[in-house]
């Protein structure tokens, strides 16, 4: 098996001062990439700012013989994000890889959550990912090469008590990934998402102490390295944790076609088991496939009648 290398490639990793982002940045650099190590340096809740974390990672990369630049851009600030990308282009002339990893937590039940906290989490995870991706998108299209990873979460894919803001943002980035895959394919831009389970400062209160080492961020990073490699897949949600890897998919059941008196709320209730039946369920690659499925389903029903 040949080693995956990034010699000559330039990567931007947001939220790279600690945890998952740091692990991603260090491994990319170890494999030859030049890295913009972005981190605002704030608290888990997104408060405050400091360049210390990003600069420490840059020092680690430099000590190992790699090449990196620290950046303190706030990913929710369009001007700062543009300056971050310009910094990479001025230094190295290109951006090949973007890993959208920056995030914050402001957990509370929906009943108790302030709307400002809901908005802040959406802005960092979803809007921040939009701004960073938009900043490199035109460049990647012109060069006909790009590898982009969004960081989603099981909280978005499946829900998690007390994380309505976080879950909404994380499902949002998964939907963004799906569409950008379609729009970037002709320009050789491959777009994927990572759903990690990792012991970081954002999750330290969620894991028992003995599980913390099991879910070290470094055990997730191999999946990200593959997702940004030359031979990467696209439109994939890769779940990863503790050295385990799986693919998460949004699937749709075959369903049931209703006609006549059955085309009613009562008919939906009466046919609920068939509507939910997982036999023949599919993972669609584009939204239009759903409409085509229903056309086929209805036509089949009419033919049978």
Active site (catalytic) residues: 166
**CA distances from residue 207 to 72, 106, 204 in whole angstroms, order as listed:** 29, 18, 6
- Among 9, 13, 11, CA closest to 39: 13
Chain centroid offset of residue 79 CA: 22
Q: Write the DSSP symbol of residue 182.
A: H
DSSP 3-state of 284? coil
Q: Which helix (H) or strand (E) holds 64?
A: none
> Residue 175 is encoded by which pair of tokens?
């939907």
CA angle, 137 then 142 then 237, to 5° = 40
Q: What does residue 176 show for φ and ψ, rounded to 5 degrees?
A: -60, -45
Q: Is 299 exposed, middle or buried (0-12, 13-18, 19+ CB in 10 A)?
A: exposed
């Amino acid at each position: 098996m040949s080693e995956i290398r990034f010699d000559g490639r330039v990567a931007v990793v947001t939220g790279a001062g600690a945890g998952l982002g740091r692990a991603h940045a260090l491994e990319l650099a170890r494999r030859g990439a030049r890295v913009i190590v972005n981190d605002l340096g704030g608290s888990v809740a997104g408060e405050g700012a400091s360049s210390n974390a990003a600069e420490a990672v840059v020092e680690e990369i430099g000590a190992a013989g790699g090449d990196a630049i620290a950046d303190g851009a706030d990913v929710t600030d369009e001007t700062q994000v543009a300056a971050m990308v310009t910094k990479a282009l001025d230094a190295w002339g290109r951006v090949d890889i973007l890993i959208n990893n920056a995030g914050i937590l402001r957990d509370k039940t929906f009943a108790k959550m302030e709307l400002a906290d809901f908005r802040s989490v959406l802005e960092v995870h979803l809007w921040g990912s939009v701004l960073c991706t938009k900043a490199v998108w035109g460049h990647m299209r012109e060069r006909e090469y790009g590898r982009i990873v969004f960081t989603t979460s099981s909280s978005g894919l499946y829900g998690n008590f007390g994380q309505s803001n976080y879950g909404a943002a994380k499902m949002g980035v998964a939907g963004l990934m799906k569409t950008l895959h379609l729009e970037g394919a002709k320009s050789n831009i491959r777009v994927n998402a990572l759903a990690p389970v990792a012991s970081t400062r954002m999750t330290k209160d969620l894991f028992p102490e003995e599980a913390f080492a099991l879910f070290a961020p470094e055990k997730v990073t191999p999946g990200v390295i593959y997702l940004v490699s030359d031979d990467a897949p696209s439109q994939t949600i890769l779940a990863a944790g503790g050295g385990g890897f799986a693919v998460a998919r949004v699937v749709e059941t075959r369903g049931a076609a209703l006609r006549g008196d059955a085309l009613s709320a009562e008919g939906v209730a009466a046919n609920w088991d068939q509507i939910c039946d997982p036999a023949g369920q599919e993972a669609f690659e584009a939204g239009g496939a759903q409409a085509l499925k229903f056309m086929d389903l209805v036509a089949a029903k009419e033919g049978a009648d």
